[in-house]
Amino acid sequence: MVTYMDGKWLDDADATVSVRCRALNYGMGCFGGVRGYLSDDEKEVFVFRLDAHVRRLQHSAKILHLRLPGDVDEVSKLHLELLRRNDVHHDVYMRPLLIHNSNELAPVLDIDSSSFIIYCMPLKRYIDKDAIDVCISSWRRVRDNAIPSRTKPTGAYLNSALARREAFDNGFDEAIFLTEGGKVSEGSAEHIFIIRDGVLFSPPSTEDNLDGITRRTLIQLATEDLGLKFEERSLGRSELYVADEMFLCGTGAQVTPVRTVDRRPLGDGGVGETTKKIQTHFQDVVHGRVEHRRNWLTPVWG
Ligand code: PMP
């Protein structure tokens, strides 16, 4: 595969950093995750909400003293060029990575050591199950005041990895984080929605979670296209146990229905009707089947 790194198009094997790199030693960087979907006629690949992803990366860069190689338009074009250079004609995941690429010893945020990388890989499902069993993690979500969660910081994924390890070891598919204050935050790489009495709820991005693009997308699709009621508010742990339905969402997870929380079955134990509706509509949108949502898609080949 071809990878972009600091103005060069390199073979994957040549896109490397030193073992001394601050990004590697101290987790000093941030990243994104962008999906492209193969169209139904298999002639086009639609990149989903590229603009929003690059804007979020721009915000992360600002917070973490990092520099992107250009404005939103220029960085978006690099994503598209990566797919063209790799002759991508399948579902794909792109990973833009912005790091402090200095080999100095102390952890200092120095904008002049910014390195920008984008690589890609084929991706169908990130969570390979139709409905999942989740647990509340004993690990708490890292606080925005400690490591700013909205930046998608490389270092904070140790927090995610610890929670996932614990979940897997205990026979669950995914972990749900609470904040230090005990409110529902997010999954290891997904946002959370529950449905109670026909109303959709999701915690705000001030609960130490990422400012999610799929989450914002689903709020719009649910309220504007499907006529559902939505409320953004803090959620308590035990509200998850008594939800009629629950699902996780994210660029990787897309819309992933939850079957049980801490071994308590939700609703009648299957995938709920509202979740199914949202999931189907989301898939229609990302595959270009919904005309008025086409402005969220950037064609790679057209
Ligand atoms: N939370 C975390 C910690 C994540 O890594 C992700 C994946 N990017 C999400 C939520 C979902 O966010 P998005 O919909 O923007 O991909």
For the stretch 72-99, pLDDT in tens is 999 999 999 999 999 999 999 999 999 9
Residue 152: active-site member: yes
Structure pTM?
0.97
Q: Which of 251, 255, 296 to mutate to test the pocket of ligand 1 (most atoms within 8 A of CB)?
A: 251
Cβ neighbour number for residue 131 with a 10 Å cutoff: 18
Q: What is the pLDDT of residue 137?
A: 98
Q: What is the pLDDT of residue 34?
A: 98
Give span(s): CATH 3.30.470.10, the chain. 2-122
Q: What is the pLDDT of residue 269?
A: 81
Residues of the chain with pLDDT under 50: none
Rounded to the nearest whole angstrom, what is the distance from the C-alpha of residue 280 to the centroid of ligand 1?
20
Cβ neighbour number for residue 217 with a 10 Å cutoff: 20
Q: Which of 48, 59, 191 to mutate to test the pocket of ligand 1 (most atoms within 8 A of CB)?
A: 191
> Is residue 251 within 6 Å of ligand 1 at its C-beta?
yes
Q: What is the pLDDT of residue 139?
A: 98
Q: Which fold has domain 132-286?
A: D-amino Acid Aminotransferase; Chain A, domain 2 (3.20.10)
Q: Which two tokens stand for residue 129?
A: 């199950």
Q: What is the pLDDT of residue 125?
A: 85
Give span(s): CATH 3.20.10.10, the chain. 132-286
Question: How far from 18 is each of 109, 134, 155, 220, CA to CA, in Å?
Answer: 17, 38, 17, 43
Question: How far from 19 is each of 24, 66, 115, 117, 294, CA to CA, in Å?
Answer: 7, 20, 15, 17, 43
CATH code for residues 2-122: 3.30.470.10
Q: What is the pLDDT of residue 124?
A: 85
